[in-house]
Amino acid sequence: MTRDEVYTKVQGVLVDALGVDEEEVTPTATLKDDLGAESIDYLDIVFRLEKSFNIKIPRGELFPEDLEAVRNDPKYVANGVVTPEGLAEFKRRMPYTDFSEFEKDPQVEKAATLLTVDTITNYVVAKVGA
Amino acid sequence: MRWIWIDKFIEFTPRTSATTVKNVTLAEEHLHDVYPDFPIVPHSLLVEGFAQTAGILVGEARNFAEKVILAKVSKATFHRLVRPGDTIQFAAKIDQLSEQGASTSGKVTCDGELVAEIEMMFSHIDQNMAGLEFPEHNFVFTEQFTELLKGYRAAGAVAI
């Protein structure tokens, strides 16, 4: 399976799970702000990806959990800005996310923009070896 | 009035499927709230009856240890109205089940006729991603729900 094929299937999953139009699902679209995903939607996306790609997604492997603990730890976030230790922690929990833009201005309130359609595509590509 | 929209189980296969029955009577207040002089079961209560059926199925799958709550109605398509005197059947199955919740789907029928097709998701709220905490006791599965399942399992002639 090529990356493009994976992306097309991921697009279909997000259209079904989030009730959005196909045109809205672009590689850089953020799940929360652009596509309106809420907490239950992340579980729905996991279920649909597992079924669509015949893979198993262990809890927390695709969508990190308990990020509130990271946000509230002064070692990781100081005055609303993610510290270098905090960035390392985010990267450890979200290995399929591109942090290059976020690193230029690591405001913690922008952390929600980190989870994009590309995050999911990157994860699935790694899982299925595309 | 009790918030119970199913009367009994007629089929229950643990971790797989469940079917319940509900008899509709003119005496139910909610039937008269939708259209004047034309009582029907509101679609929202058909969704609730399905949710109670599927919710007990999902709860039993983990021995009622989880607080199972309806979190998302992914799809609900309605094909006909339900009127007083009808007998509704809710047939639900578990599509996927994990530590965090479950996705279910199924049909609502009346005398073999298709009334609705529903897909919905339940969350095990103690396993939520945000680390929120809820009261320890299981406030979801009260006796009124667990007794329904006990009644089905003990079915057979009742000696008086």
Q: Which two tokens stand for residue A39?
A: 């907490």
Average of per-residue pLDDT values in chain B: 89
Residue type, B42: P
Round to whole Å and give the CA distance between A71 and A49: 28
| Position B115 in a domain | yes
**Which residue numbers in chain A have pLDDT < 70?**
130
**Does residue B138 have a pLDDT over 90?**
no
| Position B111 in a domain | yes
Question: Residues 6 or more apart from B87 whose CB is under 8 A from it?
Answer: B21, B22, B23, B24, B110, B111
| Position B158 in a domain | no
**Does residue B30 have a pLDDT over 70?**
yes
- When pLDDT is cut at 50, 70 and 90, the band that residue B157 belongs to is very low
Chain A residues in contact with B131 (beta carbon < 8 A): 65-66, 68-69
pLDDT for the residue numbered B130: 61
Whether B100 has its CB under 8 Å from any CB of chain A: the answer is: yes
Helix (H) or strand (E) holding A46: helix A39-53
All domains of chain A, ordered by start, with CATH?
A: 1-63+115-130 (1.10.1200.10), 64-112 (no CATH)
| Position B154 in a domain | no
CATH number for the domain harbouring residue B50: 3.10.129.10
Tell me the three state secondary structure of residue A82.
strand
- When pLDDT is cut at 50, 70 and 90, the band that residue B152 belongs to is confident
pLDDT for the residue numbered B28: 92
Contact B131 A66 (CB under 8 A): yes
The stretch B7-18 carries a mean pLDDT of 95
- More confident position, B155 or B64: B64
| Position B1 in a domain | no
| Position B160 in a domain | no
Contact A39 B130 (CB under 8 A): yes
- Among B96, B99, B121, select the one facing A40 at the smallest CB separation: B121
| Single pTM value for the model | 0.87
Listing DSSP states for chain B in one string gives -------EEEEEETTTEEEEEEE--TT-GGGGSSSTT-----HHHHHHHHHHHHHHHHHHHTTT-S-EEEEEEEEEEE-S---TT-EEEEEEEEEEE-SSEEEEEEEEEETTEEEEEEEEEEEEGGG-TT-----SS-SSS-HHHHHHHHHHHT-SPPP-
Interval B41-82: pLDDT, tens: 999 999 999 999 999 999 999 999 888 999 999 999 999 999
Residue type, B84: P
Q: Which residues of chain A approach chain B closer than 8 Å at the C-beta?
A: 17, 39-44, 46-47, 50-51, 59, 63, 65-66, 68-69
Cβ B94 vs Cβ B57: under 8 Å: yes
- More confident position, B148 or B57: B57
pLDDT for the residue numbered A35: 96
pLDDT for the residue numbered A101: 86
- More confident position, B153 or B38: B38
- Indicate the number of domains in chain B: 1
**Does residue B99 have a pLDDT over 50?**
yes
- More confident position, B132 or A38: A38
The predicted complex's ipTM stands at 0.84
| Position B152 in a domain | no
Domain that holds residue B38: 8-143
- Among B95, B100, B131, select the one facing A43 at the smallest CB separation: B100
Residue type, B46: L
pLDDT for the residue numbered B129: 61
pLDDT for the residue numbered A25: 96
- Among A17, A47, A68, select the one facing B130 at the smallest CB separation: A68
Question: In Å, how far is A74's CA from the nearest CA of chain B?
Answer: 18
The stretch B122-133 carries a mean pLDDT of 76
Round to whole Å and give the CA distance between A105 and A113: 12
Q: Is A92 exposed, middle or buried (0-12, 13-18, 19+ CB in 10 A)?
A: exposed
| Position B157 in a domain | no
- When pLDDT is cut at 50, 70 and 90, the band that residue B2 belongs to is confident
Question: In Å, how far is A111's CA from the nearest CA of chain B?
Answer: 15
